[in-house]
Amino acid sequence: MNRLTRFFAKAPRLTLLFLIGLGSAAAMGLAHLDFDSSLETLTERDDPARRLHREVQAVFGDQEIGVIAILVDDAYTPEVLEELRKLTDRIAGIPYVAKSMSLTSVSDPVADVIAPPPLVAKGPIDAEVAQRVRQRVSENPIFTPHLVAEDGRAVAINIFFTERPGDAEGEIDAEILRAIDEYEGPGETHYAGMSHIRVRSTDMMRSDLVRFLPLSLLCMMVVLWIAFRSLRATLLPVFSIVFGVSVLLGLMGWFNAPITITTLVLPSLLLVIGGSYSVHVTAAVLESGENAEEGLPELLGRVGLPVAISALTTAVGFGALALHPIPAISRLGKFAVLGIVVLAVVALYGLSLMFFALPARGAARRNARSESDPARLEPAAGHASYLDWLDRALERAADIAVRRRGWVFAISGALMAVGLAGAARVEVDTDLLSSFKSGSDVRVAHEAITDRLAGPNPISIVVSGPEKGHFRSLAALRHIRDFQTYINGLEDVDASLSLLDYLQEIDLGLRNCDGGEFVINERGELVEAPCPESFWDDPGQLDQVLELVALSPDSFRGVVDSDFRRLRITARTAISGSLGTAALTERIREYVDTRFPRGLEVDLTGNLVVVSTVSDKVLGGQVQSVALAFLVIFGVLSLQFLSLRVGVAAMIPNVLPLLMFFGVMGWAGIELNLGTSIIAAVALGISVDDTIHYMTTLNRVVKTSRSQHDALCATMRIVGRPVVATSITLTAGFLVMLVSRFGLIITFGWLSAMTMMVALLTNIFVLPAVLATVPVISVWDLVTFQLGPAPNRTIALFNGLSALGVRLVVLLGRVKAFGEGDAVIRRGERGNEMYLVLQGEAEVHDRKGRVLAMLRRGDVVGEMALLRSTERSADVVASKPLEALVIDEDFLRRLRVLYPRFASRFFLNIARILSDRLEEANARSGRVDDGEKHSAPV
């Protein structure tokens, strides 16, 4: 990476042009980017609910419908029926429409069972025809309320679709709306249905994105200007963010990955995430040298690691979504990870190279205030230090948090309890209709239709018998009659339709008596023939009715299969959410479990039911994604600081925002759905960004501070301004979503903004308070600080080990401190410890008190006793306060078990040190000079 950085730094303009060209080629995929609003993206291909839905569609046909309602004073007028017929015919000609059913397109089998005439005859419709239609509808209950309201004040066109690709759904919907706009008859028209809701959802979110993405950029520019008061520091980051988001969307186009209901929020999310990276890079790049060859390595050395770790943790939050059981959310996670990688690279290399390729003029470049305070910025020439008050306020806040951490913990604990209580109230519901504002055309249409007609959302209830022909028996049909009566009595069911309705309709036709038939009675008299009894009363009539059904299987395909083994009951409902659907299906299943005879199987399916099963996965996926994100981020932080305690401490402030998020949802009655379910894992990944920058800086500052308290406050003063700027940028980016017309986006925006602000407050107050109780400097930090860089190349004990090997070996030891004059080793004592001097000095004395050697930083002593547990041969006394890394038998045992490859090299180094000292001792034996100082094995 260093070589790549130096290579880029030598030719910044050429490198920048190459990166822009590469990114532009990727961004050209925007021309291929498409949208997909189908429910297929919400379920896996082999999902049981989806598989059942496809099987039922294959047998009975697609049940999803669209409903056009015309609200009139009287449906049975020539004007209404004439225009209804025109609109019905117009809808029937639209691609992917299987049929459009209205009063003007259905037949009337009650009038003639053998050759049923159309309910509305072809030709002109006059008052007489309209009156006849009224009479026929009153005699045939199957038309009400599916096609006409009971009071005659509304008529409906039910639109049945063929199987259609997801990307065609929008075109079909637009064509239907155009046909409705061309309606010139009386009354008020409305269109509803799940397909229409999905298309309108996509259209509104797409238009909202176009509308509020510029607003997000404007808010970001304002924050950047306030933070840096530089036109370059405002425009260049914005350009880099837009460029990065365009690259990601272009890649989605090249990969043929359409934008779905869930991935519509991706551009906005990446916009605010990219803003966070750009703020930190901009703050650091203005501190670097004027020359790219010097400034770029310096910049990446300062901000590269925290930005990379921040990108990693944010990617982990999104990456957890990639394992979500719902494909649409999984796709969001995968492309979000790709987008984060793109934005991090663009910020670290693209943005920094733009600054160096377009250098500042005059005195506009800012300089560091001091070497110990690298993240603070001097204001540009001509500007007052107008944000010094913010630095002081943040430092004071950290000081208060550390001194009053008991209060901080108490308040945080209380908020966590409130959040937990609210989280217990959260319900899972996926309801796109509720995402539309009250008064929107979609809500108005839905309410208008459900007030007067059957609800536009169907649920398929498939009953399967044990053998072919099961539903030819009267006993089986009686069970279906009782079942359908129960279904019709449910509060959420407006009407239902099944084979029985058609059988009873045919039965009415067969029993139609016009007085034209005569028979001879028992007394031999010629009398008018009585009307036949219903098949419910005369089982012999049933065979005749079923025979008519069997003669035309295609006409009854939607309600029964050709073997009369499976039949479908279609329940029409106004329910549009998964929570209501689950409750309704549960009541139906309770009836089946308690009152249905053995041998009958009942399956419930339809888009509503499929979405209901999706919602079950939302909760499980939420727990899985948050838990995975939490564990991985915890692991990353623990590895970064090589301390589990520090990892736990870093995660505590990031738990509170999540609990507040779920708590607010619970207390506000906001459901966990496809939109809100992604906030928690994403917020965890984003909010930990500030924690990482704080702790990375603290890890450096604490080594030069008098106390950890001072280090905590100084760190907040250093990183506070960029942290506040990034948090405000994120919050502003999310708050822009409040201008959306779509409720799902609005809720997503303000919940995300709230979570970001809570995360900011916890990083200002809770994080310093928690870290005040945990030592944040590790053994490795201490060793590298006191021994300097590259100890594997400067210390003989670590010769030949890699940097990672040295780190792992050092972590097995412990540090021991000695005061001036303290004995480190006493001659004659038995010992099994070797010491590596970290800081201070010590003298090696022989039995006469002569100084044989001076030990300083990096020297080792006691290696003979470590290997052989012999008596010490000399005294070692600290001549100055001394700290040493203790290496004992337990250290060696763990080294052999955990890192055998490193152990062999480590023992070889000890042997070489021991050999060198023995050789030196032998060479000097017999000619020891009283004033000579030399080393000796002890």
Distance CA 625, CA 330 (A): 10
What average pLDDT score do residues 359-384 get? 40
Distance CA 405, CA 418 (A): 20
Choose among 613, 626, 442, 745: nearest CA to 42: 613
Cβ-contact 651, 637 below 8 angstroms: yes
- pLDDT of 351 strictly over 80: yes
What's residue 164's pLDDT? 73
Count CB neighbours of 396 within 10 A: 13
Distance CA 329, CA 681 (A): 12
Helix (H, G, I), strand (E, B) or coil at 492: coil
65 compared with 226, residue with greater pLDDT: 65
- pLDDT of 146 strictly over 80: yes
Q: Count Cβ atoms within 10 A of the Cβ of residue 442 and give its class: 0-12 exposed, 13-18 middle, 19 or more buried.
A: buried
Report strand pairing: 526-528 vs 814-818.
unpaired
Bridge partners (DSSP) of residue 528 are: 518
Q: Count Cβ atoms within 10 A of the Cβ of residue 827 and give its class: 0-12 exposed, 13-18 middle, 19 or more buried.
A: middle
The first and second tokens of residue 729, run together, are 């940028």
882 compared with 382, residue with greater pLDDT: 882
Distance CA 388, CA 385 (A): 6
Give the distance, in angstroms, between the CA of residue 778 and the centroid of all CA atoms in the same chain.
34
- What is the SS3 assignment for 811-831? CCCEEEEECCCCEEECCCCEC
For the chain, how many residues are written?
938
Q: Locate the DSSP E strands across 678-783.
A: none
For the ranges 115-119, 202-206, 792-796, the one whose mean pLDDT is highest: 115-119
Structure-token match 């047998």, residue found = 59
Helix (H, G, I), strand (E, B) or coil at 854: strand
Measure Cα distances from 442 to 157, 161, 185, 201, 528 in Å. Answer: 17, 20, 21, 10, 56
Listed in sequence order, the residues at least 6 apart from 341 whose beta carbon sits closer than 8 Å to its beta carbon are 311, 315
Distance CA 342, CA 348 (A): 10
What's residue 178's pLDDT? 95
What's residue 377's pLDDT? 37
What's residue 519's pLDDT? 56
Choose among 93, 359, 112, 283: nearest CA to 726: 283
Cβ-contact 423, 663 below 8 angstroms: yes
pTM for the whole structure: 0.69
What's residue 479's pLDDT? 92
Residues 110-145 as b or e (16 or more Cβ within 10 Å = b): bbebeebeebbeeeebeeebbebbbebbeebebbbb
- pLDDT of 393 strictly over 80: yes
Measure Cα distances from 781 to 698, 699, 906 in Å. Answer: 12, 8, 21
**Positive or negative CA dihedral for 410, 412, 416, 422?**
positive
For the ranges 17-21, 735-739, 894-898, the one whose mean pLDDT is highest: 17-21
What's residue 28's pLDDT? 93
- What is the SS3 assignment for 469-514? CHHHCHHHHHHHHHHHHHHHHCCCEEEEECHHHHHHHHHHHHCCCC
ω into 327 cis (within 30 of 0) = no
- Proportion of the chain above pLDDT 70, given as a percent: 84
Listed in sequence order, the residues at least 6 apart from 231 whose beta carbon sits closer than 8 Å to its beta carbon are none
What's residue 226's pLDDT? 80
What's residue 289's pLDDT? 54
- pLDDT of 52 strictly over 50: yes
CA count, 13 A, side-chain hemisphere, 437: 10
Distance CA 11, CA 753 (A): 40
**Positive or negative CA dihedral for 841, 845, 850, 854?**
negative
Helix (H, G, I), strand (E, B) or coil at 507: helix
What average pLDDT score do residues 632-637 get? 77
- Give the chain's largest Cα–Cα span: 156
Count CB neighbours of 420 within 10 A: 13
Distance CA 251, CA 587 (A): 47
The first and second tokens of residue 293, run together, are 């060859």
Return the minimum-mean-pLDDT range out of 123-132, 405-414, 906-915: 906-915
What average pLDDT score do residues 229-252 get? 89
Cβ-contact 220, 244 below 8 angstroms: no
Distance CA 497, CA 559 (A): 8
